[in-house]
Amino acid sequence: MREARAVASPATASALALLSEFVRLGVTDVIVAPGSRSQALALAAAELERVGAIRLHVRIDERGAGFLALGLAVESGRPAVVVTTSGTAVANLHPAVLEAHHAGVPLIVATADRPAELRGIRSNQTTMQPGIFAGAVRLERDVDAPDGRPGEADAAAALAREALHAALGVDADGVLVPRPGPGPVHLNLQLREPLSTPVEVAEGDVPRADAAASVTRTPPAARSGAHIARLEHGPRTVVIAGAGAGPEAEELARAGGWPLIAEVTSGARFGPNLVVAYRELLREPGFGDRVERAIVFGHPTLSREVPALVQRDDVESIAVAPWGIEWFDPGHAVDRFERAVAVAPHEPTADERAWTGRWVRASRMLVDEASAAAEHGGVRDGVDETGHVTDFAAQREYLRDQLARVRQPVDRRMLVEALWAATWPHDRLVFGASRLIRDADRVVPGRRIVAHANRGLAGIDGTVATSIGIAIASQSGEHAHGTTRALIGDLTLLHDVGSLLLGDGEPRPRVLVIVGNDGGGTIFDALEVAASAPAEAFDRVQFTPQRVDLARLAGAYGWEYRRATTRGELDEALGTAVTGPTLLEVPLPR
């Protein structure tokens, strides 16, 4: 690779060579958190943005920067590069690195560091950065400080190639390596003074993505050499799709003619065999107790019934994951682990049709009954098929009922159903780790839309930043349409409130952050201890009440603010076009 022109600082030359090679390999996004030791990387990124080679995002908080990169990767399938300075800045990336590790999301963190001779002598902003992420990274390189020797640019380019392949979990030919699979990579870059000099990329040196060299995440269907386990039709089977399962789970359920239990962020919540009311049916005699085999895709996290089923001695449990170091294995009870499974097509027997039909019909009945109860029953409209009023008393009663519904205070079920109905395939939907994702999982019907949640560790960290990353990536290039909506709790917002601050001069994506504000962490009210602990102590340390003025908070960060307290206001707020970052507050009862 050509050495950078008119660059005196070895740090700058190496930084430009590293980032330019990432561009050639197909990386489009670099996130910079400011700092002194990382200035060569930051200024090289700014120059690459100036010549149109990358999208540059600047964030003052490294934790938010890491989750922004995670959201970009979730949507695009390619890693973003996060640049930080040394010291505690690196530690602030740990939550995003852990989520990327457990969720299998590609991520590259390039952390600037003092040279090795300054370690262990109490040099300012210096700690032991190599190994800081322990076993959570697919690759770690502690890179000696460049000193201007010939070949350093080529070495930086080779490091970029190694890092990208490791983050994507692919070999040199771009084929998925199931173990360990995609995940985070840590490049710890020692840098000596002079830390940077002015850098300018000449027109002929502007890096461009090389179609032959570019790498994106290899989909499971494209992997090579994976053994496909063939499944028998006989046992009474249910297919379970957890977070990140993808459409393969629905395809298997349909091919086998089996009931499908698909969580709301599984990517498989659609199709004729979907069972929405799975919690109730897994507890119901004649349903859950008759299951003989459970085939689990992805990472189920939203119910207690699924892990309980998998751990039963009379159920054969099969976990399916195309990649990864860890397997879903509650109670160490899973019988088989497979990278891929398939079932031969066949004409289902009467017993097989009856098995699946009972699950689907019972689920629909339970959901319909709950919906009817939520709607307070049906009221005749007094209008005949021609559109004329034939019963004026019924018409008046119907209009009063409709007005009452419009004025009805928003509850959690109403909120998740309205949001689900307002989302289209070209939109993106993000759920925070709160009660609301479980409420949605209980009631929303099958629909082939893109929904995501950070369920690798199921924490509330970085949910706003992840949503913004998904919005930016989904609204770029050919797919520059649609809206990203994030449904989160009030504590989830406050935990990541710094991510509301967007970089100066950067595009402001169409993102609607919907905050179900019940004044604290009501998810903890479901804990058994809530019934026995002193109420004041429980509220202080678990519920953690808050009274933040979200309207002023949104205004402080330059976000549009909306509020919906009734059904009519909620429908209007969700039906109004989102033209930029917008916060919608929905007060909810505890």
User: Is residue 589 reached through a cis peptide bond, with omega within 30 degrees of 0 on the bond before it?
Assistant: no
DSSP designation for 118: G
Give the model's pLDDT for residue 108. Answer: 98
Q: What is the pLDDT of residues 62-100, one digit of tens each?
A: 999 999 999 999 999 999 999 999 999 999 999 999 999
Domain locations along the chain: 10-195, 227-359, 412-587
CATH of segment(s) 10-195: 3.40.50.970
Residue whose structure tokens are 């005196």:
8
Give the model's pLDDT for residue 214. Answer: 72
487: enclosing H helix or E strand: strand 484-489
Identify the CA nearest to 35 among candidates 45, 49, 25, 27. 45
Give CA 58 to chain center in angstroms: 21
Residue 488: partners with Cβ closer than 8 Å, 6 or more residues away: 430, 431, 432, 434, 436, 460, 463, 464, 513, 514, 515, 516
Give the model's pLDDT for residue 212. Answer: 67
- Beta strand ranges found along 288-354 (DSSP E): 293-297, 316-320, 336-338, 341-343
Q: CB–CB of 49/56 below 8 Å?
A: yes
3-state helix, strand, coil in the chain (%, to 5): 40, 15, 45
Output the CA–CA distances (angstroms, integers) from residue 94 to 137, 189, 248, 276, 498, in the order listed: 10, 17, 31, 35, 17
Q: At 450, phi and psi to the nearest 5?
A: -90, 115
* DSSP per residue, 186-228: EEEEE--SS--------GGG-----TTT---PPPGGG-SS---
Give the model's pLDDT for residue 381. Answer: 64
- Which fold is adopted by the domain 227-359? Rossmann fold (3.40.50)
- Beta strand ranges found along 272-418 (DSSP E): 293-297, 316-320, 336-338, 341-343
DSSP designation for 539: I
Rg (CA), the chain: 26
Q: What is the pLDDT of residues 181-209, one digit of tens each?
A: 999 999 999 999 998 888 888 878 888 88
Burial of 134 (0-12, 13-18, 19+ CB in 10 A): exposed
236: enclosing H helix or E strand: none
Residue type, 489: G
CA distance 496 to 500: 8
Asked if 10-195 and 412-587 have one fold, the answer is yes
This prediction has a pTM of: 0.92
- Which fold is adopted by the domain 412-587? Rossmann fold (3.40.50)
Q: What is the pLDDT of residues 425-481, one digit of tens each?
A: 999 999 999 899 999 999 999 999 999 999 999 999 999 999 999 999 999 877 677
CA distance 524 to 330: 22
Q: CB–CB of 63/81 below 8 Å?
A: no
Residue type, 10: P
Identify the CA nearest to 448 among candidates 471, 423, 412, 466. 423
pLDDT in tens, the chain (590 residues): 444 445 469 999 999 999 999 999 999 999 999 999 999 999 999 999 999 999 999 999 999 999 999 999 999 999 999 999 999 999 999 999 999 999 999 999 999 999 988 888 788 787 889 999 999 999 999 999 999 999 999 999 999 999 999 999 999 888 888 889 999 999 999 999 998 888 888 878 888 888 767 766 554 444 445 689 999 998 999 999 999 999 999 999 999 999 999 999 999 999 999 999 999 999 999 999 999 999 999 999 999 999 999 999 999 999 999 999 899 999 999 999 999 999 988 888 899 999 999 999 999 999 988 776 666 555 666 666 666 667 777 767 666 766 777 789 999 999 999 999 999 999 999 999 989 999 999 999 999 999 999 999 999 999 999 999 999 999 987 767 799 999 999 999 999 999 999 999 998 999 999 999 999 998 888 888 999 999 999 999 998 999 999 999 999 999 999 999 999 999 999 999 999 999 999 999 98
